[in-house]
């Protein structure tokens, strides 16, 4: 177990409201949905993925899927070690006799093999992206589903985010195994495999590309009361009386896509993110071709009871609505990919998302990466050893995961910006990586090197703690303060540990709110007037020892004055 006597078992308000009935993929909704979340059998033992479960496998207890075994909601509270294998088993009945059956996994950390009725139906590597298997030839009336998982965590230079077995400070408990929903769909012989949606605000149209399991095939889109038919390839639909999406008016267009006998429900929004200039000539971020200041919170996406997994859909909504109530219009999802329902709530509630890719790599010297740029020395990130990125396979996996992440999240209207590397973690060839990312997605902004090791990307991205923030002189690029603040306040009965991490310690809420008012008034608002175009405060919630959230880890105590924060953010945004 990773808990000890100094650490508290904190439950969120939704711990007893766990709900697995919500459709996990809101932009590809079908009527045939069979959730498989719930109590499964589990076994943890020394071994690797050569282990094949059978009828003699001796399971040791129950685990609540989709919560990782390290979490308290899983019922296990045990860390999967690098030399161990985690084995799951559940039994289910087939609900429909359709020609096709698809088995979906939202995410499994880190590498897994999936067996249905003893047959290996798929494998997957990478802990943050969804995958599926067509199991039509293996499914029976009564079924046994086994999943075997290994997770090297921080023992190898893989993409792992803030997970570590030696957690503390800004590093958090590891998560392993199934941590997003598992479900089945029953489909006709020909079915829609993917949809790609690209809004074109300037030309007042939306482009929709639908691929089936047979490749490009004819499909029909029903938008409002009109049907638009495509013989194959990309369909362009003109948008009459266009309504722009924004945090102030998060309007979504719902549509239905039909291919053969398959029907899928989805949505899109008309919006455009770009770089431009303000009336005073200073560079800025643009939303729908107009200057737009993005004020946000760093969002780690951790939960005191579920770790990587929110206890309920309502919990996901809570964080977004809390941020909005404080006047924030942006969340920077920090080094983690969320379940698709989180992005759906950002889309419909009106919250801009900055999406980080998940960092990996080896252990570099952060003081060298931080101090040298402050001395005017930027070491090129083609020097892989300096950034602990010599591992060729790790770099190849980064590109593979980028492909998967962009394909998974491309359709989400709320995502405005990708962050490829954060503070030098796993950084390599950032300019080449940025060009590759542009080949996948030209509809969003890119923060190539957030924080410390600037390699000349299109955005000047700054992290500033401990000392006052001042706008850089003679900077011609848009300036983003992509991390700042981090003021800590520990709430006695709502803290995970006796240890405290933060960038400025506050004794009570009154001192915290006074410090925030001073920070906004003396540094951030004046910087906006001088050209600052975005500011991301650290952070949304406490996470373990890091108690610098505006709300506690268990989401039970909001530490900031929401009216004060809303007022400060309105001034910051020029309202």
Confidence of residue 160 (pLDDT cuts 50, 70, 90): confident
Specify the pTM: 0.96
Pairing of strands 192-200, 262-268: unpaired
Sign for the CA dihedral angle at 147, 153, 157, 162 comes to: positive
Joined tokens for residue 22: 């919500």
Q: What is the pLDDT of residue 7?
A: 54
What pLDDT score was predicted for residue 5?
A: 35
Identify the pLDDT of residue 112: 98
pLDDT tens-place string over residues 417-470? 999 999 998 999 999 999 999 999 999 999 999 998 999 999 999 999 999 999
**What does pLDDT average to over the chain?**
94
Spatial CA neighbour of 139 closest among 123, 124, 122, 118: 118
Which pLDDT belongs to residue 363? 79
Does the pLDDT of residue 155 top 80, yes or no?
no
pLDDT higher than 50, residue 133:
yes
Distances (CA, A) of 114 to 125, 145, 313, 438, 449: 12, 8, 26, 34, 36
Q: Is the pLDDT at 4 greater than 80, yes or no? A: no
CB 489 within 8 A of CB 560: no
**What integer pLDDT is reported at residue 360 of this predicted model?**
81
**H/E element holding 177?**
strand 177-178
How many angstroms separate the CA atoms of 471 and 394, rounded? Answer: 36
Model confidence at 3, pLDDT cuts 50, 70, 90, reads: very low
Counted residue by residue, the chain has a size of 575
pLDDT for residue 294 is more than 50: yes
- The model's pLDDT over 374-408, given as tens digits with 9 standing for 90+, comes to 777 888 999 998 898 988 988 999 999 999 999 99
- For residue 53, is pLDDT > 70? yes
Confidence of residue 45 (pLDDT cuts 50, 70, 90): very high
- Give dist(CA 99, CA 90) in Å, integer: 23
Express each pLDDT in 248-280 by its tens digit.
999 999 999 999 999 999 999 999 999 999 999
- Return the ∠ at Cα 113 (arms to 185 and 139), rounded to 5°: 35
């Amino acid at each position: 177990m990773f808990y000890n006597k100094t650490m508290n078992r904190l439950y969120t308000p939704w711990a007893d409201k766990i709900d697995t009935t919500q459709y996990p993929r809101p932009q590809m909704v079908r009527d045939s949905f069979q959730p498989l979340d719930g109590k499964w059998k589990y076994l943890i033992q020394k071994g690797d993925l050569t282990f094949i479960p059978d009828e003699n496998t001796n399971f040791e207890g129950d685990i609540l899927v989709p919560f990782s075994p390290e979490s308290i909601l899983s019922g296990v509270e045990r860390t999967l070690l690098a030399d161990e294998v985690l084995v799951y088993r559940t039994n289910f009945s087939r609900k429909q006799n359709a020609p096709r059956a698809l088995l979906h996994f939202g995410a499994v950390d880190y590498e897994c093999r999936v067996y249905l009725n003893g047959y290996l139906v798929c494998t997957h590597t990478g802990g943050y992206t969804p995958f599926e298997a067509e199991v039509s030839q293996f499914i029976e009336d009564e079924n046994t589903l086994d999943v075997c998982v290994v997770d090297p965590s921080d023992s190898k230079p893989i993409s792992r985010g803030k997970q570590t077995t030696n957690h503390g400070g800004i590093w958090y408990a590891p998560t392993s195994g199934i941590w997003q929903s598992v479900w089945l769909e029953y489909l006709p012989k020909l079915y829609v495999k993917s949809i790609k949606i690209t809004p074109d605000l300037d030309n007042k149209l939306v482009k929709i590309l639908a691929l089936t399991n047979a490749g490009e095939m004819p499909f029909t889109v029903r938008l409002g009361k009109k049907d638009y038919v495509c013989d194959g390839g990309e369909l362009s639909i003109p948008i009459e009386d266009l309504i722009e999406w924004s945090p102030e008016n998060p309007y979504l267009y719902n549509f239905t896509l039909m291919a053969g006998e398959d029907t899928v429900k989805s949505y899109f929004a008309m919006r455009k993110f770009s770089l431009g200039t303000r009336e005073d000539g200073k560079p800025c971020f643009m939303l729908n071709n107009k200057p737009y200041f993005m004020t946000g919170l760093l969002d780690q996406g951790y939960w005191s009871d579920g770790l990587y997994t929110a206890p309920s859909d309502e919990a996901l909504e809570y964080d977004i609505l809390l941020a909005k109530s404080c006047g924030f219009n942006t969340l920077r999802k920090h080094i983690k990919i969320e379940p698709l329902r989180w992005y759906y709530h950002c889309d419909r509630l009106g919250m801009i998302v900055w999406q980080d890719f998940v960092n990996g790599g080896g252990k570099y010297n952060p003081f060298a990466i931080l101090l040298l740029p402050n001395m005017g020395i930027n070491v090129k990130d083609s020097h892989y050893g300096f950034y602990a990125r010599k591992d060729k396979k790790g770099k190849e996996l980064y590109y593979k995961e980028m492909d998967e992440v962009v394909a998974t999240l491309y359709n989400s209207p709320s995502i405005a910006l990708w962050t490829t590397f954060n503070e030098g973690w796993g950084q390599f060839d950032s300019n080449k990586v940025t060009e590759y990312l542009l080949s996948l997605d030209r509809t969003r902004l890119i923060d190539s090197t957030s924080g410390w090791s600037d390699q000349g990307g299109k955005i000047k991205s700054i992290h500033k703690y401990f000392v006052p923030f001042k706008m850089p002189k003679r900077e011609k690029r848009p300036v983003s303060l992509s991390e700042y603040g981090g003021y800590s306040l520990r709430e006695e009965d709502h803290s995970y540990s006796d240890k405290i991490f933060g960038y400025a310690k506050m004794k009570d809420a009154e001192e915290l709110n006074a410090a925030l008012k001073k920070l906004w008034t003396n540094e951030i608002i004046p910087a906006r007037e001088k050209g600052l175009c975005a500011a991301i405060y650290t952070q949304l919630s406490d996470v373990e020892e890091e108690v610098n959230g505006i709300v506690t880890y268990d989401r039970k105590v909001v530490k900031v004055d929401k009216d004060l924060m809303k007022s400060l953010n309105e001034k910051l945004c020029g309202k």
